[in-house]
Amino acid sequence: MSPHSSKEAVDDPLWKSVLEQTFIHFLTFFFPEADKIFDLSKKFVYLDKELQSMFPPKPHNKGVRYVDKLVRVQLVPSPDL
């Protein structure tokens, strides 16, 4: 394992933890009107296991696999409904 990939193995979980801790800020950065789109009072659901199951390990566990974050957020109900 190269030193670079070892650092990635440490950094990836740390980055994902930071993202979970600050996800509301992440949403409002990319969606300035996030409070009008997403119901920010509802709990965010992190679906890491579901996403990881879509990309299973390589045969004989060769290579390190990283799966990005998948988050379920509730939308603000449309006034038309």
Report the largest interatomic distance among the alpha carbons of the chain, rounded to a whole angstrom. 55
Q: Which residue has the higher pLDDT, 68 or 1?
A: 68
Which residues, at least 6 apart from 52, have a Cβ–Cβ distance to it below 8 Å? Answer: 67
- Residue 80 CA to residue 68 CA, distance in Å, equals 34
- Residue 72 CA to residue 51 CA, distance in Å, equals 12
What SS3 state is found at 69?
A: coil
The backbone torsions φ and ψ at residue 60, rounded to the nearest 5 degrees and listed phi first, read: 60, 25
The confidence score (pLDDT) of residue 7 equals 62
- pLDDT for 17-46, tens place per residue? 999 999 999 999 999 999 999 999 999 999
This prediction has a pTM of 0.66
